[in-house]
Amino acid sequence: VRFPEDLEDDNTTFNPEYSHQVFGDDEVAFGYKGLKILLYYIAGNLSTLFRIEYTSKVNEKFDCVEADDVESKIRGIIPPGFCTNTDDFVSLLEKEVNFKPFGMLLHTYSVHNEEAGEDITYQIYKADMTCPGFREYHERLQTFLMWFIETASFIDVDDERWNYFLVFEKYNKDGATFFATVGYMTVYNYYVYPDKTRPRVSQMLILPPFQGEGHGAQLLETVHRYYMSSPTVLDITAEDPSENYVKLRDFVLAKLCQDLLCFSPGKLTQGFSQEMVMEAQQKLKINKQHTRRVYEILRLRATDMGDAEQSRSYRLDVKRRLIGPYKKKQRELAKMRRCLRPEELTNQLNQIDLNMQHEQLEETFQQLVSDYRRVLERLAQA
């Protein structure tokens, strides 16, 4: 909500992707007809209005059943201090001109908006719990995780190893400058013996109205650039990354690596090298596993897949990496031959069908190439 009229505008509304963390695996609120759970957030500081509406509710006295206590379930995830009536909420909205982003400005960029016919400015900030008002703001911000990240949990904000990176839209209204929350990322700084840290991306969310506009890539690249300047950072990882996050990371890391000398087309066709691992880690804080994926993406761009020899060379190179888990199975099988009785061995052999392995390997390879091509298409447009 930016203006009072947004309260009645369905175009500013977005629905949750998940509700199982609040309403159980079936995602059902029992005992109501026409139930509406209404959560409004002021665009900048995320002050909240919470209301429940329904046309009827089961009555324990007559129906011998009890309706779910929806209100207490929602109160369990939104912090106290929210509004319950519209007038109080609108009066808070009038104070929004005083809201300013928290922390240190790291990056400013613009995105062309077709609908508005103009470039819109966005800014990325790094904040921590010492910023006045940030703790309360973060409590409101993290409630979105429950609706948009499948296995989300709230973090321990008293742990000083957390860093917070925030994206805001900067806009003008009646000659004044306002800021709207776009998304954020939390990063935990793990200690690595003897004197390094390994930042690990924990949560990342771009709010639905802003998705598909490139903000995730801007945020991830900005975070990488922030840590790249620190001599104590070893490399940057992610905790249990989603498929979408992996695709985003592939694009951002390939964009960063493509300008390194060791990723020039001539070097790429010679194969994956220790030089690539060293340069990507030292200059860009990228670990070996991620560097290998970037190499495969950029080598695909440098390969003429219509040329039989180049195509074969690329396919064998990628499959040599993919075959690792299958080779592990073969080693386990060799151990079994030494340890198991014949009938037990036959049972295990039946589970390891070599033809099936080859089919799975080819299927995995084709899927990877398809994913890599999408990254290259995006790189070409960047």
Q: Which residues are catalytic?
A: 239
Nearest-CA neighbor of 236 among 293, 308, 285, 295? 285
DSSP annotation string for 184-234? EEEEEEEEETTTEEEEEEEEEEE-GGGTTSSHHHHHHHHHHHHHHT-TTB-
Question: How far is the CA of 242 from the CAs of 151, 221, 232, 247, in angstroms?
Answer: 10, 17, 27, 9
C-beta of residue 372 within 8 angstroms of C-beta of residue 249 = no
Q: Is 20 helix (H, G, I), strand (E, B) or coil?
A: helix
Give the CA-trace dihedral at 19, 21, 26, 29, to 10 degrees. Answer: -70
Cα Rg of the chain (Å, integer): 26
Nearest-CA neighbor of 205 among 285, 151, 253, 254? 151
